[in-house]
Structure 1
Amino acid sequence: MYIERLKSKIHCVRVTDANLNYIGSITIDEDLMDAANIIEGEKVQIVDNNNGERFETYVIKGERGSGCICLNGAAARKVQVDDIVIIIAYGLMDFEEAKTFKPSVIFPKHPNNTL
């Protein structure tokens, strides 16, 4: 049996931009991606602490060291700049592996989303 389990989490980062005119996705600073073990194109869940929105999209790389957290396309309508969001990625794994798997969880510093 396989189960879906927390794989990666970027806890409480500040939205730096919302670009309605982009095709879609979330742009994340590559340093944050590396630290949380998230890759480009990976599906993530976004949870907005300010308004309660929960939605899914995929990741694109943002400029390393920029602190960029930008919601693009339709997702831009679900957040406001300066909202605090949690970015979550789940992995599908064998039940036994899931019992001992250690997720990558990071807690960036505000207001610049730095490690």
Structure 2
Amino acid sequence: MDEANRSDPPKWIQQHAVYQDLMHLDVGDSAQVYAFFLVYMDLTEGEEIAAVVGVSCPELQAVLLEGREKEGEPVQMIYPLPSHRSIKHRELRSILDRGAPMLLCAVASDSSLVYQTV
């Protein structure tokens, strides 16, 4: 997802309603928005997590996902992170301080996804 090595997302992604909504959140990091979209599609298409919604995280200038693995279970925060970006302890803490368990998802340049519970 390195900005210099990644072209714009395919047209079908750019036209998707969820992607367009994300672009209106003015995150400022197109690589993170693209990572969010890939993770969103993986979770909703695979039906791994129910009721997935995007949540703005201004302190990280990022968009997080929020959802439940099963109905009635607590909400989880999912942080889609392009694999070329590093993350600092205080950034993780700002997400964990929201009071929900966190799932970190590293998104590789080939669109591979790796999930890690934090």
Bigger fraction of residues in helix: 2
Q: TM-score, normalised by structure 1?
A: 0.25
Query: Which structure shows the higher strand fraction?
Result: 1
